[in-house]
Structure 1
Amino acid sequence: MKPTVRIATARTPDGGEMELFKHDRDFLIKINGQELMSSRQHESELELARLGCAHLVGHMSPGVLIGGLGLGYTLYQVLDMLSSSTHVVVGELLSAVVEWNREFLGELNGRLLEDERVDLKTGDIVTIISRSRSKFDAILLDIDNGPNAMTNSANRRLYCYEGVMACRYALRKQGCLAVWSVEPSKKFERLLTGCGFHVRRFRVPAYKGSKSEFRFVWVASENKAILPPGGGELRKLVRGESKKSHRVS
């Protein structure tokens, strides 16, 4: 039996310890001993791209922002499904994650960061989004564990009213915001609809074929017609309506 080997370490902005492990052909990242992501469970990261970019298939030159590089699966899926003239901005807070992708993770999905369609930006994703106005056709967010941030407490700014509205302003009129989460959140769903989005919630398998482990992806747009089919539809909050009366249909 092959051992699990720690091959790299780094510090998070909150001072936590981030570790990269390898077991045979699989890679695992932990934060303070708690699993953050694993190559054994990456189906939901692929689904984030499929759901968030479904409306862009066949478009000539779409612009996509990916918040969170991770192990590269979402980026891989975006590059695979969209045109050769797609422009993909990848925002990653942790420089160590970028270095690990370049040095260790090429065998997972190829050398994605060398693709000419990719524009890598290291830094705070909230800053990147706030400086973008009507720039993207899709924004795909896989930051921390979703609305309940684990790696960096500052990431919670992305999942508050100001963060969601910044995403809305950064999208073009026919754009979609897709958000990955390890668990459901009624509070975040109310926030999305309260910010003027039509929303669908998807429960997706953590790994291909899984019938017991799931993750969640919300896809939101001002244009209901371009949302992907399926999932659970959340009724948009209308002006003057109490958030307490909001129900999921």
Structure 2
Amino acid sequence: MIPWVHLDTAAVPGGTTQLRLKQRGDEFSIMLGTNELMNSRLSGSEQALADLAAERIGARKKPRILIGGLGMGFTLRAALASFKNDAEIVVAELVPEVVAWARGPLAEVFKGSLDDPRVRIVIDDVGRLIASSKAAYDAILLDVDNGPEGLSREENDELYELKGLHEAKAALKPGGILSVWSSGPSPLFTRRLGRAGFKAEEIPVRASTKKRGAKHMIWIATKAE
């Protein structure tokens, strides 16, 4: 078996552990401690995060999309494919090295998506962008940490608490969509979305595009018109 090769390490601002980028042949992995956050061969649920939101947005003109977390770019690439050519897609990534990896060793995985004129990359905390925005976005796609049960930094939990959900709702336009990725289910989070005033759907999605293996969870939460 081909061994894993460690390519780079990045500190997570406000966290106590580090991200590690690893490669094995044409496969890439981003690790946080002993936990694998993402793998280049498992992109199904990250793609669904954008696809499901785009289905709900429908034919809105010039939709404005905020993606929290760049990762390996699977959600971004799906958003570029699913939303119309007049869309504006803002990607907030907290760790500068992740953007550097996208333009370096992971360039083949990203397939030029960062150079699409619809895309703007912002090195910032997505929670800060959400909190400072009012009725600014048609959809907010959150693929941050490990979902509501975070791993990398305590500040990420604030996105999924009631205050953070109220801020996300305020940042959305009427009828806007909050799409949230998680490694697993969380009945508590589903109830919290309802308490925040969202109409929430909990959708299990296969991690692999081959429609088999482990399942992740996507929440589609709609703000009232």
Q: TM-score, normalised by structure 2?
A: 0.95
Q: Which one is further off, 50-59 or 40-49?
A: 50-59
Structure with bigger RCO (C-alpha 8 Å, 6+ apart): 2
Q: Does 1:24 align with 2:20?
A: no
Structure 2 CA distance for aligned equivalents of residues 193 and 58 of structure 1: 26
RMSD: 1.4
How many equivalent pairs are there? 224
Aligned to 1:6: 6
1:74 paired to 2:75: yes
Q: CA deviation at 1:170?
A: 0.5
Distance 2:69 2:21 in 1: 16
Structure 1 162/63 Cα, relative in aligned 2: closer, same or farther at 3 Å?
Answer: same
- SS of the aligned residue for 1:53 comes to helix
Match of 2:170? 169
Quick one: distance in 2 between partners of 1:212 and 1:175? 31
Cα offsets for 1:17-61 (capped at 9, x unmatched): 211011111110001122111111110000010111213344331
Provide the residue aligned with 1:121 in structure 2. 122
Are the counterparts in 1 of residues 16 and 152 from structure 2 also a CA contact under 8 Å? no
Identity of counterpart residues, as a percentage? 35
Structure 2 gaps, min length 5: none
Task: Give 3-state SS (helix, strand or coil) of 1:200's partner.
Answer: strand
Cα distance in 2 for residues equivalent to 1:161 and 1:56: 24
Equivalent residue number for residue 238 of structure 1: none
Aligned to 1:202: 203
Matched-pair contact (CA < 8 Å) for 1:42–1:207: yes
Could you report, residue by residue, the CA deviation over 1:132-173 in whole angstroms, capped at 9, with x for unpaired residues? 110111110000000011111110111111100010000000
**CA distance in structure 1 between the partners assigned to 2:107 and 2:81 by the alignment:** 16
| Distance in 2, Cα, partners of 1:55 & 1:86 | 15
Counterpart CA distance in 1 for 2:7 and 2:113 is 21
Highest CA radius of gyration, 1 or 2? 1
- Output the amino acid matched with 2:193: L
| Per-residue deviation, 1:73 | 0.3
Query: What secondary structure, in the 3-state scheme, does the structure 2 residue paired with 1:148 have?
Result: coil
In 2, the alpha carbon distance for the partners of 1:118 and 1:104 equals 20
User: What is the alpha-carbon distance in structure 2 between the residues aligned to residue 80 and residue 9 of structure 1?
Assistant: 31
- Using the TM superposition, give the Cα deviation of residue 105 of structure 1 relative to its aligned residue in structure 2, in angstroms: 1.3
Which runs of no fewer than 5 residues in structure 1 stay unpaired? 225-249
What is the distance in 2 between the residues matched to 1:15 and 1:123? Answer: 18
